[in-house]
A = this chain, B = another copy of it.
Amino acid sequence: MKTLTVELGERAYPIIFCHGLISKESALGAEVLLETAGRSVFIVSNDQVAALYLPRLMALFAGKRVGYHCLPDGEAFKTLSQVETIMGKLISEGFTRDSTVIALGGGVVGDVAGFAAAIFQRGVPVIQIPTTLLSQVDSSVGGKTAVNHPLGKNMVGAFHQPALVAIDVGTLTTLSDREFAAGVAEIVKHAALGDADYFDWLEDHCEQIVARDIDCLNEMIERSCRIKATIVAEDEKEQGRRGLLNLGHTFGHAIETLSGYGVVLHGEAVAIGLLMAAEYSHRAGFISERISARLRSLLAAFGLPLLLPAALTRGDFKTAMARDKKATQSGLRLIVLKALGQAEIIDQVDDDVLDQTLTSWL
């Protein structure tokens, strides 16, 4: 069983890659999971994932105190109200400060469960068991947790590093093509912002990835986790370099907010956001059109929809972008590409270039 450590001093934790933890009877990695979880666990999942994997996970925890809450499926339920419901179950079922929350599901489940763990009795440990590609390579690692506010995405949250991330690549076999592609968007982002060789590798292995070749997926997930873990270890609270992971997200979040949560998947919005960020980077003279084109081809090859999901105005777009968490009082902050595999945070956004970029898309 491969292990990767997120180096965060007293908050360091392992990511274990254990094909079979919940997807097969083999239950690889169960020992580490049980040891980390302690005697009292509360599982947060969603209806779809629970139907597939909850019984096996509950069976692993036989003999412990176990409770659970299933969110309805979708980003629309990433709310403070769901968190309050979880708090109510934890309290009424007698869970105390020495309990562990387990997130079993995709990004929404991980964010809600992680945030619930962060604020229940001022913080209990959380273990992430991500079951989607997006959550395996991105959201489960790094300790960002949040829920949405009707006025903006991820506006309410906390940094709360997990005690363990357990990735069972076997769960990806049950993922819809649409969700799988959405996860690939974050992977392409990792390559684009930090590793040109990885970008080449993705181009070369596109077919095997789409065919969900397990060995190929394993290598890909580990490479992406490694990029993410390195950046998180350097800058846990996103005061500098971690901001690079937001490549494509300022545009992406605006797309999600303006479309209404749940219409576009997060990864789909990020895919379009990546192209818009590349477009801005090209128009600002940072990268050649060829890089933009390679990015577009790769995303398209994974079957990602690359058109805006609705008729949006430039004004709406800019208002939504200004509400982004990365914005400061002094204005918008954007992540641009300086080359393939190299991104940079810029505080001085060129308004003309931004207008041109938006116009070319709207």
- A40 CA / B329 CA spacing, docked (Å): 8
Would B155 and A87 count as touching, CB distance under 8 A?
yes
Q: Which residue of B lies closest to A145 (CB)?
A: B122
Would B325 and A157 count as touching, CB distance under 8 A?
no
Would B65 and A97 count as touching, CB distance under 8 A?
no
A323 touches B (CB below 8 Å): yes
Residues of B within 8 A of A97 (CB): 325-328
A316 touches B (CB below 8 Å): no
A32 touches B (CB below 8 Å): no
A39 touches B (CB below 8 Å): yes
Would A323 and B122 count as touching, CB distance under 8 A?
no
Would B88 and A84 count as touching, CB distance under 8 A?
no
Within the complex, the shortest CB–CB distance from A242 to chain B, in Å, comes to 12
Contact A91 B158, CB 8 Å, known A97-B328, A149-B84: no
- A111 CA / B122 CA spacing, docked (Å): 12
A146 touches B (CB below 8 Å): yes
Residues of B within 8 A of A158 (CB): 118-119, 122-123, 158
How many A residues touch the partner, as a band?
35 or more
**Chain A 139-182 against B: per-residue CB contact (8 Å), 1 yes, 0 no?**
00000111001111001111100000000000000000000000
Within the complex, the shortest CB–CB distance from A336 to chain B, in Å, comes to 20
Interface residues of A in 101-129 (CB under 8 A from B): 115, 118-123
Interface residues of A in 50-95 (CB under 8 A from B): 65, 80, 83-84, 87-88, 91-92, 94
Residues of B within 8 A of A96 (CB): 325, 327-329
Partner of A91 from B119, B323, B326 at Cβ < 8 Å: B323
Within the complex, the shortest CB–CB distance from A38 to chain B, in Å, comes to 9
- A60 CA / B322 CA spacing, docked (Å): 28
Would B329 and A39 count as touching, CB distance under 8 A?
yes
Would A121 and B155 count as touching, CB distance under 8 A?
yes
Q: Which residue of B lies closest to A331 (CB)?
A: B96
A98 touches B (CB below 8 Å): yes
Would A157 and B329 count as touching, CB distance under 8 A?
no
Within the complex, the shortest CB–CB distance from A332 to chain B, in Å, comes to 10
Residues of B within 8 A of A40 (CB): 329
- A329 CA / B100 CA spacing, docked (Å): 12
Would B146 and A122 count as touching, CB distance under 8 A?
yes
- A122 CA / B157 CA spacing, docked (Å): 4
- A121 CA / B152 CA spacing, docked (Å): 10
- A283 CA / B326 CA spacing, docked (Å): 58
Would A98 and B328 count as touching, CB distance under 8 A?
yes
Within the complex, the shortest CB–CB distance from A237 to chain B, in Å, comes to 8
Contact A98 B151, CB 8 Å, known A119-B156, A123-B158, A158-B119: no
Contact A150 B88, CB 8 Å, known A118-B158, A156-B120, A158-B118: yes
Residues of B within 8 A of A146 (CB): 122
Q: Which residue of B lies closest to A121 (CB)?
A: B325
Pull 10 A–B residue pairs with CB atoms less than 8 Å apart, ordered by A.
A40-B329, A65-B329, A88-B150, A88-B151, A92-B151, A119-B156, A119-B158, A121-B157, A122-B145, A122-B157
With A91-B149, A123-B159 known, 5 other A-B pairs at CB within 8 A are: A87-B155, A97-B325, A98-B329, A118-B158, A122-B159
List the 7 shortest-distance A-B pairs measured between CB atoms, nearest first: A91-B151, A122-B157, A121-B325, A98-B328, A119-B156, A96-B327, A91-B152
